[in-house]
Structure 1
Amino acid sequence: MRRFDRFVALGDSFTEGLHDRLGPDGRHVGWADRVAASLATSGSGLHYANLAVRGRLLAEVVAEQVPVAAALEPDLVSFHAGGNDVLRPGVDLDSLAAPYDAAVASLRATGAEVLLFTVLERAGGTGRLADGLARRIAAFNGRVVRPSAQRHGAILVDLAAVRALHDRRLWHEDRLHLAAEGHRRVGAAVLEALGVEDEAVLDGPAGWWRVPLPAAPRATFAGTVAGEARWVSRHLLPWVGRRLRGVSSGDAVTCKRPELSPPA
């Protein structure tokens, strides 16, 4: 495995680590923090920054985070962006391709290894809403992410292809963000993509994160209806309300690690 000294993580809530366990600073840990801590165990003296902020659109990640990352002179960069754009009805996927690709090209031009991610297509949902969203995300992955990774020689962490990660038990109740076990699995996927083979660092044997959870008890009709109603009232309607008001969940949030420092 290549040794890395400066790791900078860019993106939105996925990389910020929303809904993982809380760290000592009161912020969510997330897969990127987990990866940085694991890479540091090799004695490399790794320093790590995380510029990701929840709710950020692709254009905002490119404008606000990519130049800062380049100035930090990283040798490893993770870039996950565009998922929030795809959630918006009527999004023009083709309009995302050029800025996404240009960002990847500029990050690769720094000499850094660049990690890209296919966006997870499902959080266990079925029905017309979930199916329609899954189709849009799959199109984004196929028309934007995968071609850009191939074009620029980036390392692709192809999460969308792993069915086990669609299990709702790996997700927070809002169905938009991973729960702690989901972040743990993504962290292992990233480490594996970077060539880590040590089971102690991977937190299990190679590929363990692809293994489905044991079958869940069959949900009752009443429980399903109650769960759907709770999700609509607690999460879907507030999300729609923010869109109508033109506000974002990240408007008052700053990134949790703006400068390179040893992982906590």
Structure 2
Amino acid sequence: MQKNATYTSLVAVGDSFTEGMSDLLPDGSYRGWADLLAARMAARTPGFRYANLAVRGKLIGQIVDEQVAVAAAMRPDVITLVGGLNDTLRPKCDMERVKGLLTEAVERLAPACERLVLMRSPGRQGPVLERFRPRMEELFDCVDGLAARHGAVVVDLYGAPSLSDPRAWDVDRLHLTPDGHRRVAEAVWQSLGHDAEDTEWRVAPPATLPPGWSARRVADVRFARQYLLPWIGRRLTGRSSGDGRPPKRPELLPFEGPVG
């Protein structure tokens, strides 16, 4: 890959991870790693354009149906695609279908851009990851194979100690903190051949004393009430947090000024 290549446009495709939850800005909107990456790229390239089609809660089939054709038609220099993880976290998941849809997405997006970026998504330590780890790793094996066949870049976040550390995750235990998003932006930046701004993005923060038993139980109750039970309710009723929600940057337009 060319070192410090100049890219003039970026389109981000995916779900809540790429939309930017839980990197909350003062105005109530979300920033996230894709916005941070776009800001860096725009600082190097006058007239740089950016679109973010990602919407929270989307399954890989919805990403293919709603975002892939739009992104391909924009013909940007760089497309990032992260999807399928929401599917793996469902109680019932047809992994062959998921992999087939991901393959379709890559086959349609790769010819439409100069550089396609795929990811092995980060995984938080804990029982949820352990339960779904086989599905996630099957998905990531598919990502690796697709990248090899289509010349895509794979950003390995799954193997980064900094992003498996619970402190990199928000209180909902599903989305990264602002520092987590910053580290992802750095990882993609370096994977695109740019000089590192943070050579230690993979390194977890220094160890701290874990919270006591009482504090952990209070956090568990809060998590269950505010996040887990609503999530289960949406699964049981077939609803999604992204139902009816448009992308935050649906058009490929000039990206102006700093983010946040």
TM over 0.5: yes
Q: Which residue of 1 aligns with 2:87?
A: 85
Q: Which residue of 1 aligns with 2:55?
A: 53
Q: How does 1:13-162 map to 2 (within 5 A)?
A: 13-22=16-25, 26-121=28-123, 123-125=124-126, 127=127, 129-142=128-141, 144-162=142-160
Q: Which residue of 2 aligns with 1:212?
A: 204
Counterpart of 1:13 in structure 2: which amino acid? S
Specify the SS of the correspondent of 1:151.
Answer: helix
Counterpart of 1:168 in structure 2: which amino acid? P
Contact 2:73 2:112 in 1 (8 A): no
Contact 1:55 1:84 in 2 (8 A): yes
Q: 2:188 aligns with which of 187, 190, 204?
A: 190
Separation in structure 1 between the aligned mates of residue 210 and residue 70 of structure 2, nearest angstrom: 48
1:156-196 per-residue CA deviation (whole Å, 9 max, x = no partner) reads 00111112211111111111111101100000000000111
Q: Displacement of 1:44 after TM fit? A: 4.2
Counterpart of 1:137 in structure 2: which amino acid? M
Q: Displacement of 1:124 after TM fit? A: 2.9
Q: Displacement of 1:134 after TM fit? A: 2.5
Does residue 243 of structure 1 match 2:235? yes
Separation in structure 2 between the aligned mates of residue 59 and residue 187 of structure 1, nearest angstrom: 25
> TM-score, length-normalised on structure 2?
0.92
Counterpart of 1:135 in structure 2: which amino acid? P
Does residue 2 of structure 1 match 2:21? no
Specify the SS of the correspondent of 2:158.
Answer: helix
Does residue 222 of structure 1 match 2:214? yes
1:198-221 per-residue CA deviation (whole Å, 9 max, x = no partner) reads x5xx3x3x3x21111110212211
Specify the SS of the correspondent of 1:261.
Answer: strand
1:114-153 per-residue CA deviation (whole Å, 9 max, x = no partner) reads 00011222x232x3x44112332122212x2111111111
1:73-113 per-residue CA deviation (whole Å, 9 max, x = no partner) reads 11110000101111101212122112211211111112431
Contact 1:23 1:29 in 2 (8 A): no
Specify the SS of the correspondent of 1:79.
Answer: strand
Separation in structure 1 between the aligned mates of residue 241 and residue 106 of structure 2, nearest angstrom: 25
Unaligned stretches of 5+ residues in structure 1: none
Separation in structure 2 between the aligned mates of residue 164 and residue 185 of structure 1, nearest angstrom: 8
Q: Displacement of 1:230 after TM fit? A: 1.6
Q: Displacement of 1:233 after TM fit? A: 1.4
Identity %: 41
Q: Displacement of 1:23 after TM fit? A: 6.6
Tell me which stretches of 4 or more aligned residues in structure 1 moved more than 4 Å.
Answer: none
Q: 1:169 aligns with which of 139, 164, 167?
A: 167
Does residue 11 of structure 1 match 2:9? no
Separation in structure 1 between the aligned mates of residue 238 and residue 247 of structure 2, nearest angstrom: 21
Separation in structure 2 between the aligned mates of residue 103 and residue 11 of structure 1, nearest angstrom: 11
Specify the SS of the correspondent of 2:116.
Answer: strand
How many residue pairs get matched?
253
Separation in structure 2 between the aligned mates of residue 16 and residue 246 of structure 1, nearest angstrom: 21
